[in-house]
Structure 1
């Protein structure tokens, strides 16, 4: 049964996380997407808004799409530890479907800022995005692969947060599912769309190596895509446009990027050299790491006397990478204290050490993926076994 506008649903897990007096949430808005559905919900006690995201019911039986959704849940919950990523609070099961409960950002997406020429906002948010991508890459070896304005959301203060990790991948994984024949778009009206079964990534912002289907895609692909976004922010349109995805793909691979020029040949933000380096077709000529990218932005901002707070990634809370057996690894490495009871069971001495793994187990139970659940040492039953000795001890 589909959820509808004005319907009231009870979400105990989210109510507890947001420390509300009520677990009841009213559906304020239903926002359909290509492969999923996003619901804006409002807590009846606090009035605070949250987001619920799930896969379309019709696609649940599509093995490839379902796998992508499960991978997004795992990645999103893991990366939510960084305060530059839209925070996913928990995963719950509603009507037999898993829903990700996340914060609701009221500022819309990056396009809300891209019509303005606010130099302070340009540099502050670009550096936020760069350093958040760097955090994901450094700590979890994740690349996003679909950087575009719609996947960068804004809070009420106009600060940027990265979202939509649906096709994000660890660097070591094979990217061969993206190939040159996959850029065909049956519609010439909306070449910016990413459709199920078609090109994974949005062609207006896709790197040459994504288009060519290279297996060794790394963070420099995201740097190219962000360069396309910054170009559009500066010029009002992406660097390459066309009537079809094939035409745009050809330009990404073969044509020079049009020069950035403003009134009297002066650009809005003074970042044209930075953007040009991002958009090098040869990835070895782009910024080779995020630190040099961020430093180049800081240098350019100083030349234009931009004033803003320089973002440094912060950690919201401890998180366990979903489905990777982190609990078992930490016990084996000796990082967690373990005490043997009379019946041979082990339990964690500090409850805070256990909390990330309880959250992980809850998420996997909501998704109900047996392969993933078997890869995790802790289950809800073992949580109970671990906690009982604790509860009974002083």
Structure 2
């Protein structure tokens, strides 16, 4: 056990132990990075030195992290600290289903069904991803105060698969829910999970498991030899359809069980319906051959001979019924003869069926053909063939066998093989616009090699991915793929130049080059020559980027005695730009007249005269919005001088007032863009 206060991987502060299993210890911990409580599962120390177990532990946990379902405990992180493999999971408040049953039994049938449907939904989601739990039991199912279910340890139990049948202490917690095929050492399938679900339903209905024993082995034997006890015998109120769900899920032969958790959920949801009240008891279609060995008992009383029938010789004893009747007249000789006959038959049966023990050879890395040949040479048969993606074992080669290598079995036993499909291909997603750090972590966890190419951008924020060299949708093997991500470093910054004594034109050229928004004002200066920059904001050396504002003050020269004010006009042409124009529907929009007054202010009578036609006919037109700024004795360049709407190229006359021979300035903005700016003087 780890000590309280240990900081795992410099991030997870262990608070207290909250669970202990055959494979790992579980602790409540605090994630200091994300400031949240989590559950941390740490692999037992005696398993840390087994590289295969650690590898399976991490691989299965990685597979579980891909499951996203409201009834499955989320896996946040997988790692290793000082040689200790750990998994970080969602911390669920509440109790496990085992304690819930103990505290709340008897549970109403409707609530049992509601809880089971949540469990079945989660298992179906895992099976859809080809993830088999292998160790479903109430201890792995959490339930909160609102009866919401969360299942933990999806796929992780397989890490102990090769060891579980020999570790009776750790197996005992799971053997009550072990399928017959797992109890015999065969590979777990989705139907094995279905069997465990049936046992869990049995326990919720009866308050106990169907089989008990002094050891894990004795319980395991009952799973493949004994029939599941009737739930109706323990509670006659249980409807037959509900008992049938238990019987269907726990059939000895996997082929007789539900084909999926979803199918079981559908059957369970209607098990209380009145229309199913007269449903007959479920009977499997096939006869299981799991009970291979039976003990033949010799009756002590000849009168009881016809009541005790050895399982393997029933037909023979029936054929000798007349002989038994004859022997009943002579009890002593009948007892002696019966004992002798049974003894001879039993010895003959044992001699005829006894097979030699053989050891399972190591088939790892062999092709299916090679494995079959080796099995034949060792007087064994090839069994079921399953396939699985594997990053380490070459495609079409054996990953492992069931039973595993070096196990001792009888001659002609079947050996199941797990064949590699090679590394699993991953479909590339679209990562543009996403955070580089998160995507890199995700891709590296899958096995990709990730390279970074950084460049500035005005479109993407710093750290966002701008481009990827492997296209979206392409399927690749992560371990063989290098993906280069172009990442934004943010806007390109530069140091603002010292613009003191620049002319207005030079300042405008600089602003255009750097993409700055320029604002110009003027004032008198006794030290700076007229027409040159007096000051600037921001100051020289400030780091700016494209789109920043730049304000400069242009010198008007020395301020002498005030000369007489002079007014003069300047006619400018404002070009119409259809590309930035806005479409409107109106029946009466005239063009501005030559003196710069818009139709909306000078043509009211014309508008009124055509109001009748405007109400029935609209003509789509396009218009530019124009704002004019001027700088003279009575106006400031930062204040709006005039706003107008044009629908075609328009002449506008501007009136300026200056002192003496001073200059005035104007600026024209069309649809948000500066299109004209100039200095003017009286002629």
- Could you say whether these structures have the same fold, taking a TM-score greater than 0.5 normalized by the shorter chain as the test? yes
Q: Kindly indicate whether residue 97 of structure 2 is the aligned counterpart of residue 106 of structure 1.
A: no
Q: Kindly indicate whether residue 135 of structure 2 is the aligned counterpart of residue 155 of structure 1.
A: no
Deviations 1:297-338 (A, max 9, x none): 11014459xxxxxxxxxxxxxxxx997978x7424xxxx45x
In 2: Cα distance, 1:223 partner to 1:38 partner = 26
In 1: Cα distance, 2:490 partner to 2:481 partner = 18
Number of the residue aligned with 2:260: 289
Deviations 1:16-53 (A, max 9, x none): xxxxxxxx746244644333221102468998531112
| Aligned residue among 111, 132, 141 for 1:143 | 132
Q: Kindly indicate whether residue 21 of structure 2 is the aligned counterpart of residue 60 of structure 1.
A: no
Unaligned runs of 5+ residues in structure 1 are 13-23, 170-174, 194-201, 305-320, 338-347, 366-373
| Aligned residue among 242, 256, 265 for 2:213 | 242
Q: Bigger shift: 273-282 or 293-302?
A: 293-302
TM-score for both structures, normalised by structure 2: 0.41
Residue pairs, 1:1-394, within 5 angstroms: 3-7=2-6, 25=13, 27-29=15-17, 31-42=19-30, 48-79=36-67, 81-95=68-82, 97-115=84-102, 116=104, 117-138=107-128, 140-164=129-153, 165-168=155-158, 177=162, 183=165, 192-193=172-173, 202-215=174-187, 217-261=188-232, 265-267=236-238, 271-303=242-274, 329-331=426-428, 336-337=429-430, 348-351=431-434, 355=438, 358-359=441-442, 361=444, 375-376=478-479, 385-389=484-488
Change (3 A) 1:357 1:127: farther
Unaligned runs of 5+ residues in structure 2 are 276-388, 392-421, 449-476, 493-545, 547-683
8 Å CA contact retained: 2:56, 2:158: no
For residue 176 of structure 2, give the secondary structure of its aligned residue in structure 1: helix
Change (3 A) 1:113 1:58: closer
In 1: Cα distance, 2:183 partner to 2:88 partner = 33
Number of the residue aligned with 2:573: none
Number of the residue aligned with 1:313: none
For residue 89 of structure 1, give the secondary structure of its aligned residue in structure 2: strand
For residue 65 of structure 2, give the secondary structure of its aligned residue in structure 1: helix
Number of the residue aligned with 2:400: none
Shift of 1:151: 1.2
TM-score for both structures, normalised by structure 1: 0.67
8 Å CA contact retained: 1:191, 1:244: no
Shift of 1:87: 0.7
Change (3 A) 1:163 1:255: same
In 2: Cα distance, 1:38 partner to 1:349 partner = 38
8 Å CA contact retained: 2:29, 2:38: yes
In 2: Cα distance, 1:353 partner to 1:43 partner = 22
Shift of 1:275: 0.7
User: Which structure shows the higher strand fraction?
Assistant: 2
Shift of 1:233: 1.4
For residue 3 of structure 2, give the secondary structure of its aligned residue in structure 1: coil
User: Which structure shows the higher helix fraction?
Assistant: 1
Which structure is larger by alpha-carbon Rg, 1 or 2? Answer: 2
Change (3 A) 1:251 1:229: same
Deviations 1:162-205 (A, max 9, x none): 11131359xxxxx9958xxx745656xx8624xxxxxxxx2211
Change (3 A) 1:240 1:46: same
Shift of 1:261: 2.4
Shift of 1:295: 0.8
Shift of 1:127: 0.7
In 2: Cα distance, 1:57 partner to 1:263 partner = 43
Change (3 A) 1:111 1:329: closer
For residue 281 of structure 1, give the secondary structure of its aligned residue in structure 2: coil
Larger RCO of the pair (alpha carbons < 8 Å, separation 6+): 1
8 Å CA contact retained: 2:132, 2:189: yes
Change (3 A) 1:329 1:282: closer
Shift of 1:134: 0.9
Shift of 1:290: 2.2
8 Å CA contact retained: 2:132, 2:190: yes
How many aligned residue pairs are there? 318
8 Å CA contact retained: 1:25, 1:43: yes
For residue 27 of structure 1, give the secondary structure of its aligned residue in structure 2: strand
